[in-house]
Structure 1
């Protein structure tokens, strides 16, 4: 699995170098990415870097306005700066409620991938961002996805997360598919308004339960779970 991911990344970097060598602004980066139709689901099998579809993202243009580190643990408490990895625009969508750019950047290395939805003005100036996907590889090389997302045609975004109840960090690389953890599923809904700002509108929490890391591998999407919602 790791070998296949590495090959995919190397191919992606090749295409980035070919298609994005002259890109120096965020506006150019957005414009260079083909648009993806809405609605869209970030399923477990979502490609890390689809060839000919991602371009280098000049994130330093935005200074400290966006976090460009990627998560390396299930509870999203430990991160690593992107200086050691990839940062590219993974998807771009055409908003249906205003004039702004909206896309998703991929941050990470071979064993990790964090995706952040970002919005910008037509001139490429930063507006807002949101974590939408997190995955990492276990000590056997099996990928576990503990945060996923969907976006619909009305520019509503739903983020699905399984958050460990333990305060002790659970690093992906220290786990195996059989590692057990108690965690809580949390579904959070957001609305991207006509100005490109991302606003939280609803959160649904579920009864914590025991899982195995294996529950978040292969083709098992978080939203397919049968957890019981907590009574308000």
Structure 2
């Protein structure tokens, strides 16, 4: 019985590899990914595991329209190219306001990951993208999640970020869970229109405060914080 299960798994892996090898355009990549039900929350716990049901994403067919670099610091100011890393699409949503593709692209290289919400026409032509998730590993091997997101059934997206107030970049690899930093939480809301374009509609800033990197690890979600919003 165990032998039969192993053979089934190996055949499944081989089948997926063959399918991925045949994917040479964005439309095919989207169609290969099953739908995820709305609303959806990009919880921190999910960022700790590489998506399993992922499909190679032929991002180079969009030229320089999609930013596939990876972030190296908490302020998201230092980036490196993804040329030798993983670029795959692992979620697909069914838009409620138009006929377009929308999904989540996973970018990974060594100890850093990033997720982009991407939209395309029904033929796979680029429309828009939004960075919605960023994680980086500290020098002790603990992953810190500095940006998260949610999307609802009305195609509204909220991105949650904690941004250091220091003008000097703080690299993930130079910190540990006990590292302290002063930072500001920023919630940014977007609306995806009927053509797939992503438009910023509101930004909420909170009072800067001292954090420990520990506050961004494990299953701690940014939106669960008790920060005080700044008065407009």
Same fold (TM over 0.5): yes
TM-score normalised by structure 2 residue count: 0.91
Which residue does 2:35 correspond to in 1? Answer: 35
Aligned residue number for residue 49 of structure 1 = 50
Kindly state the Cα deviation for residue 17 of structure 1 after the two structures are TM-superposed. 2.4
| Helix, strand or coil at the partner of 1:163 | strand
Partner of 1:128: 128
Distance change (3 Å), C-alpha of 1:211 and 1:15: farther
The aligned residue for residue 149 of structure 2 is 149
Q: Residue 15 and residue 223 in structure 1: after superposition, are their counterparts in 2 closer, same or farther (change >3 A)?
A: farther
| RMSD, aligned CA | 1.4
Q: Measure how far apart 1:84 and its partner are.
A: 2.1
Q: Partner residue of 2:93? A: 93
Cα drift, residue 15 of structure 1: 7.8
Which residue in the other structure is 1:160 paired with? 160
Counterpart CA distance in 2 for 1:14 and 1:206 is 49
**Does the CA-based 8 Å contact 1:190-1:199 persist in structure 2?**
yes
- For the pair 1:193 / 2:208, whether they are aligned, the reply is no
- Shift of residue 109, structure 1, vs aligned partner: 1.5
2:173 aligned counterpart, secondary structure = helix
Counterpart in the other structure of 1:137: 137
CA deviation vs aligned residue, 1:14-73 (integer Å, no higher than 9, x gap): 88624412100000000001110000000011154332x210000000001111111111
Deviations 1:83-133 (A, max 9, x none): 021100021101010000001101122311110100000000000000000
Q: Which residue of 2 aligns with 1:78?
A: 78
Task: Point out where structure 1 has 5 or more consecutive residues left out of the alignment.
Answer: 1-12
Q: Is the 8 A contact 1:118 1:129 kept in 2?
A: yes
Normalised TM-score (structure 1): 0.91
Deviating 4+ runs (over 4 angstroms)? 13-16
C-alpha contact (below 8 Å) 1:16/1:54 kept by paired residues = no
In structure 2, stretches of 5+ residues that fail to align are 1-12
Structure 1 residues 216 and 14 mapped into 2: Cα distance closer, same or farther (>3 Å)?
Answer: farther
> Which residue number in structure 1 is paired with residue 5 of structure 2?
none
Q: Which has more radius of gyration?
A: 2
| Cα distance in 2 for residues equivalent to 1:35 and 1:183 | 36
Count of aligned pairs = 219
Secondary structure, counterpart of 1:82 in structure 2: coil
